Amino acid sequence: MSDDYWNPMDPKAKAEGWIRGPAERWDVKGAFRVGYHTSINGTMKVRRPATIGRYCAIGDNCRFIASGHETQIVNLQVWLQQEVGAVNESRGKRPIEIGHNVWIGDQVIVLAGVTIGDGAIIGGGAIVTRDVEPFAIVAGAPATMKRYRFHENVRR
């Protein structure tokens, strides 16, 4: 792994202060990388591939869910599809990418395949179903654009 990204469960990353937060409260399953000096400030659940950039602030009780199910299959239970020999129509492991210097409020859910641009702010309780532009402020369920943090001249 590069010097810029760490596995947050790596004791060295935590001991050196490269990643801050209560690792014992993180439930991580799958590939997960976090950038230098990111703070994860409470309970967090990660399912499948996700990357969080440098200098981010992640609120309590956030979820990053990078897989899902198709709705056109006969039965939505993947285990039952497999038991009866049907093709697993899961949408797969679509990674979540979070840029640098992003602030994610408490109880946010980020769904599969979403990219959050550098400098964005995600309001508490948001459900992020689509990409978020750099320096955008989004909130709600589903998350919608509220405004940009800076004027267009500054964002360039």
Per-position pLDDT tens, the chain of length 156? 355 777 777 777 666 667 788 888 888 887 888 988 899 999 999 987 899 999 999 999 999 987 666 666 666 676 777 777 766 555 556 899 999 999 999 999 999 999 999 999 999 999 999 999 999 999 999 999 999 998 888 877
Strand order in the sheet with 5-6: 5-6, 32-35, 50-52, 96-98, 115-116
Q: Assign domain 5-155 to its CATH architecture.
A: 3 Solenoid (2.160)
| Lookup: tokens for 88 | 């697993």
The structure tokens 């409470």 sit at: 42
- So what's the pLDDT on residue 125? 98
- Other beta carbons less than 10 A from residue 2's beta carbon: 8
